[in-house]
Amino acid sequence: MRRKGFTLIEISIALLLLGIIAGVSLPLLLQTRKSKNIEIAKREMETYKRRIIVYYQGYNTIPVHKSDFTLNDTILQIPQRFTLDPVSGIPYRYYADNLADGNPIYVDGNSIGDISAVIISAGPNGKFDGENATPTDKRFQSTGTGDFDDILISVSQGELMASPTLCISYRVTVRNASDSTIYVFPSKTDSTYRTISNGQQYTWNSLYPDELVLISSQKAFSTIYTNSFVPKSYDSNGNCIIEITVNAIRSSVPVFTTDQN
């Protein structure tokens, strides 16, 4: 006669085996998840580093840290949920210095320059270890002893200076020295023209690189009365600043020169 079901001993053995398997598998699963989060954190920090460099290329300065030494998510255009470190669940630490005052940031005892920054993950232990716990002393470390597990990415002054200029916007000033009134219309930025009288000037602080700036002696901006320029093509110095001086009106068309900055 065939026996049905399991004996208490068989069930006990099965539960014991399941316990052993779980005891072995769970730590491996947790370790795998931790390793994955560390890799995600490293990729995020490298992305933020690139954004800091692009910001520097556009504005010739680096975004400052917030009062709690965290990333400035608004300036760097980072969705706020991504400012939390996936390893520890707390915000990344960020410290930046953009003053050329001879007081540089140090990482592992070595200067990374006056104008520089560091981004730090607190690591699995959820605390900023060693020098990283005191950002105001401008000294940080990437390795340490004991349970040190911070992850640090630095943005050195050398990396910033070596990066190519890539202006994401331009400051444009148009001066009128023509003895006549002129009309200036950045057609992509403004909905109408600006009137600039003789001896006056006007500044736009955030014009697009591909903005078409029209300068005319007439409000109608017809072709025979209008000159034009694109900021990107006039930035010969790579400093994202354009200064135009209209010197005369010749054959009804404003004639201008570009100041060298």
Domain boundaries, the chain: 29-162, 170-258
Question: What is the spatial distance between Cα 141 and Cα 118, in angstroms, rounded to a whole number?
Answer: 10
Mean pLDDT by 10 residues, the chain (261 residues): 57 66 57 78 90 82 92 85 88 90 91 93 93 95 92 92 73 94 93 95 90 93 91 72 92 85 48
User: Token match 């007439």: residue?
Assistant: 218
Of 188, 176, 200, nearest to 231 by C-alpha is 188
Is beta strand 213-216 parallel, antiparallel or unpaired with respect to 182-186? antiparallel
Question: What is the spatial distance between Cα 258 and Cα 126, in angstroms, rounded to a whole number?
Answer: 54
Of 231, 91, 74, nearest to 165 by C-alpha is 231
pLDDT at 71: 92
Question: What is the spatial distance between Cα 245 and Cα 205, in angstroms, rounded to a whole number?
Answer: 17
CB neighbour list of residue 138: distance below 8 Å, 6 or more residues apart: 95, 97, 103, 104, 105, 106
Neighbours of 1 (CB within 10 A): 3
User: Would you give the distance in Å from CA 106 to the centre of its chain?
Assistant: 21
Question: What is the spatial distance between Cα 243 and Cα 175, in angstroms, rounded to a whole number?
Answer: 8
pLDDT at 17: 66
Of 140, 206, 169, 161, nearest to 62 by C-alpha is 161
Beta bridge partners of 183: 195, 216
pLDDT at 61: 83
* CATH class of the domain comprising 170-258: mainly beta
Of 240, 172, 246, nearest to 202 by C-alpha is 172
pTM, two decimal places: 0.55
Which two tokens mark 13?
């053995």
What is the b/e burial string over 140-170, where b = at least 16 CB atoms within 10 angstroms of the residue's CB?
bbbeeeeeebbbbbbbbbebbeeeeeebebb
pLDDT at 32: 65
pLDDT at 161: 79
pLDDT at 31: 58
